[in-house]
Amino acid sequence: MLEPLVTINILSYNRKETLRITLQKVFEQDYENIEVIVVDNASPDGAPQMVAEEFPWVKLIRLEKNIGIAGWNRGFESANGEFVLLLDDDSHPEKDAIAEGLKLFKEDESIGIVAFNIFNSTFAFNETNGWSGNLWAFVSCGALIEKKKLEEVGYFDENIFIYLNELELAARFWDAGYKTVFCEKCHVVHSQSLKSRGGAKNPFASKYRYKHFFRSMSYFLLTKFPFPQCCAAFGKWILNRLIVALGFFYPVTFVSEFLRTVFSIPLYLKNRQILSLQTQRFYRYGNFFPLIDRDFFPDFKRER
């Protein structure tokens, strides 16, 4: 019996060397029934030329400008597989990862997304440490999605440029009755490149990440929850951002992003899609994040 076709959807921007390694590793998979798509976000470093010359059997989609995570959507549109594996240009699955992920879909038809177990080889830590069971979100550098359910729910929200796009999509999957689950056996190596993403030495506590998390979480809270709940969660979120701004000397960024959010309220109102009560409860009415951001303050004691 022929195994289902899996589309490997790789989003690339300005990381030619790590993309080459990712493509080499992808074709070392034990799972053979795959097609590979590379969506290039207008890389200036020659990455698309490298793909065309060295991997001519890969479907290459070259965008005219960097559109952020929306690039994955162009890959979704071209995907022929029953399942789509999301990868960054600096991440690759271990040889048996796809096969292990597909087992979960066979066992439970309510699963929509399988989040992979991601080891960051650059910083030597597990990005999904402590994850288990049903999840609020996943990480796009390693996740398997059933295509027909994705078509039903919709692709990534293109109002989000980068970060927390997975949270927003997973919430819509839950609202449609489809779970996001963690697969410990599905291993992905994230050889995290420091190119792009603001060029910070610590990309998890950078001004670039601070800015885009500010935008993405504000959008998520103000478009997915009723006004009483979203206002309470949003107030906590603003305090979270203020604490980081004071600790890392980002006052100008804080003010500019706060004002940007205020001026974006008409867009938020236009795009409000309130989650079902059951999904709101699962996401704790938007109040699921700690007041103190542990990426910026890793030594802060855990809340009781």
DSSP string, the chain: -PPPPEEEEEEESS-HHHHHHHHHHHTT-S---EEEEEEE---SSSHHHHHHHH-TTSEEEE-SS--TTHHHHHHHHH--SSEEEEEETTEEE-TTHHHHHHHHHHH-TTEEEEEEEEEETTTTEETTTT--SB-S---TTSEEEEHHHHHHH-S--TT--SSSHHHHHHHHHHHTT-EEEEEEEEEEEE----SSGGG-SSGGG-HHHHHHHHHHHHHHHHHHS-HHHHHHHHHHHHHHHHHHHHHHT-HHHHHHHHHHHHHTHHHHHHT--PPPHHHHHHTGGG--S-SS-TTT-TTSPPP-
Tell me which of 3.90.550.10, 3.40.50.2000, 1.10.760.10, 3.40.50.720 is the CATH number of domain 6-190.
3.90.550.10
**What is the distance of C-alpha 70 from the center of its chain?**
11
The answer to whether the beta carbons of residues 241 and 252 sit under 8 Å apart is: no
Beta-sheet pairing, 83-88 with 6-12: parallel
Place of tokens 């609020």: 136
The pLDDT profile of the chain, 304 residues, written as one tens digit per residue, is 679 999 999 999 999 999 999 999 999 989 999 999 999 999 999 999 999 999 999 999 999 999 999 999 999 999 999 999 999 999 999 999 999 999 999 999 999 999 999 999 999 999 999 999 999 999 999 999 999 999 999 999 999 999 999 999 999 999 999 999 999 999 999 998 876 565 567 888 899 999 999 999 999 999 999 999 999 999 999 999 999 999 999 999 999 999 999 999 999 999 999 999 999 999 999 999 999 999 999 888 654 3
**What is the distance of C-alpha 51 from the center of its chain?**
23
Q: Which residues, 6 or more positions from 59, have their beta carbon under 8 angstroms from its beta carbon?
A: 35, 36, 37, 38, 78
Q: What is the pTM of this model?
A: 0.95
- Residues 302 and 194: their CA atoms lie apart, in Å, by 29
